[in-house]
Chains A and B, each alone.
Chain A
Amino acid sequence: MSEELPELNPVVHGKLRLAVLSLLIAVEEADFTWLKQKTGSTDGNLGAQMLKLEEAGYVSMEKRFAGRKPQTMYRMTEKGREALAGYVAALKRLLGGHFQ
């Protein structure tokens, strides 16, 4: 590929992180178990990737209880939305006419 092509955000570009951000962009909030089910990931791997997204400021986490069961809820932040939008824009430039 050409040297003048834009850089893809490495935090967003990770496959599982990108899947999570794509899920969260469409929902108000989602819990860890739902994200794990939709991405087909393991607890450990998803937990590690969610931590990276939290550290980057792309998602926020809230722990609460649903009845007596603890629940970890995630939401996308404004910074996360901008990062994903920037990633999509970079993809468009990289892929040109192939991107709808």
Chain B
Amino acid sequence: MDGGTSRDELLQRITMMEAMIAEGRAFTLKCGWIFVLWGLVDLTAMGWRYLMPHSHFAGHWAWPVCLAIGAVITVTGRMVQRRSERSKSMRCHHVEAVWNMMGVALALFVAGGIASGLSWQNSYIAGILMLVGMAHAISAVILRWRFQGFVAVVWWVGGVAAFWARSWSHVNWIMFVEMCVGMIAFGLYAMVMERRAHE
């Protein structure tokens, strides 16, 4: 340390370090649109089957087609976003990892359920809702975002309720509420928050 470094200069260094660390930690991921997208994808698949209950094609392909389209749009959209990202905080990295791996687990779970013909069971739907709720919960802990923690609880309540659904109509209602609240409403709220943070 040279003789010219005063106590004030060192304190200024600390203040500057704290400010820079805070800048680096800022959550810059813009992902609200992904939740809105998947809410719409799922509602589309549900609506397609509801409106064409006797269609063999809708019965077998509504969900695979809609999910595949959703996956393509998500991957493409993220690739475009990544090109403009100039930094990625560790928190963004951690949250992305949670959702990417949840997506992989969900894709395998859904594919297995559809391929085995067991996707009609209440436990299958409960499993999906629990997985998504878990991702929300982990995200909420990382970001210390209480609102997302509340959304996780909404998903988990839906997952538990699915076990007690007496008919497939009840299950569909649970799914409908989860998509509207847990996906679309949450996604829109996240987009508003992201916009405010970047203004």
Contacts and interface: CB of A to CB of B under 8 A. Distances in A.
B51 interface: no
Contacts of B22: 26
A25 interface: yes
Contact of B1 (A8, A39, A66): A8
Interface of A: 1, 5-8, 13, 15, 18-19, 22-31, 33-34, 37-39, 66-67, 88, 91, 94-95, 98-99
Contacts of A8: 1, 5
Given A6-B1, A8-B1, A94-B10, A19 B87 contact: no
Interface in B86-124: 86-90, 92-93
A15 B13 contact: yes
Given A27-B87, A33-B86, A18 B16 contact: yes
Chain A contact residues: over half helix, strand or loop, or mixed? helix
Interface string B1-37: 1000101001101101100111111000000000000
A7 B3 CA distance: 11
A26 to B, nearest CB: 3
Q: How large is the interface on B (under 10, 10 to 19, 20 to 34, 35 or more residues)?
A: 20 to 34
Interface of B: 1, 5, 7, 10-11, 13-14, 16-17, 20-25, 82-84, 86-90, 92-93
Given A7-B1, A34-B86, A67-B83, A26 B21 contact: yes
Contact of A19 (B16, B88, B89, B93): B16
Nearest to A26: B24
